[in-house]
Structure 1
Amino acid sequence: MKNEAMKTAVDAFILERINNCGSRPNESLSDAIERLSVCADKLRNTLSAEQRILLTDCENAYSVTDGETMNCYYRAGFSDAVLFLLGWRDSEWN
């Protein structure tokens, strides 16, 4: 993005949206997260100390991947919305 002020504004907007959605969790997403946690705990209880370290590494990598995926899709959605609004003028697609 060439305009640094616009990039800063977009970053702030996306961070605000991510935080807003995080404060109002979706029930099915909450259920899936809970299920993942229960399964990981059950698995952890069957592992050796060395294997538990690997599981923790996997959980950490998944958390980063999940956050980056959310960030990516928010950016794509915001970009699509801007393109749509710029293309939709005078009650028709331009």
Structure 2
Amino acid sequence: MQNESFEKAVESFMEQRIADCGMRGSDSLQEAYQQFEQALHTLKSMLTPEQAKAFVKLEDAYSLVDGETTNCYYRAGFSDAVQFLLGWGDGKWK
């Protein structure tokens, strides 16, 4: 039961952190996404209808990879932070 509560707390924390960072991304990250979106738009305008269908699948796959990458790194960072804090639990590194 305690493990389940902890898992729910971690999940809630991660969701909130991802949402917070998504709303307040860095300027350089926002610029990179804008450039990416512009490149996508340019490429889409050059595609045949059949290529456009394949391109939509590519966009969907990229969105999934991007979301999972974000989730993975936030979880890793959170885990590292917890381990660091627990390692210094009594004022000395364990």
TM superposition score category, shorter chain reference: over 0.9
Please give the per-residue CA displacement for 1:20-39, whole angstroms capped at 9, x wherever unaligned.
Answer: 00111211111111111111
**Structure number having the greater strand percentage:** 1
Displacement of 1:56 in angstroms is 1.1
Runs of at least 5 residues in structure 1 that lack an aligned partner in the other structure:
none
Q: CA separation in 2, counterparts of 1:14 and 1:86?
A: 19
Runs of at least 5 residues in structure 2 that lack an aligned partner in the other structure:
none
Is 1:37 the counterpart of 2:42? The answer is: no
Q: CA separation in 1, counterparts of 2:7 and 2:89?
A: 24
Please give the residue correspondences for 1:5-84 in structure 2 after superposition, counting only pairs within 5 Å: 5-84=5-84
Displacement of 1:91 in angstroms is 3.1
Q: TM-score, normalised by structure 1?
A: 0.92
One-letter code aligned to 1:47: L
> What is the total number of aligned residue pairs between the two structures?
93
One-letter code aligned to 1:68: E
4+ residue runs of structure 1 moved beyond 2 angstroms? 89-92
State the percentage of identical aligned residues.
Answer: 47
Displacement of 1:64 in angstroms is 1.0
What residue number does 1:3 align with? 3
Please give the per-residue CA displacement for 1:20-68, whole angstroms capped at 9, x wherever unaligned.
Answer: 0011121111111111111111111111001011111111111111111
Q: CA separation in 2, counterparts of 1:29 and 1:15?
A: 20
Displacement of 1:80 in angstroms is 0.7
Displacement of 1:69 in angstroms is 0.6
Q: TM-score, normalised by structure 2?
A: 0.92
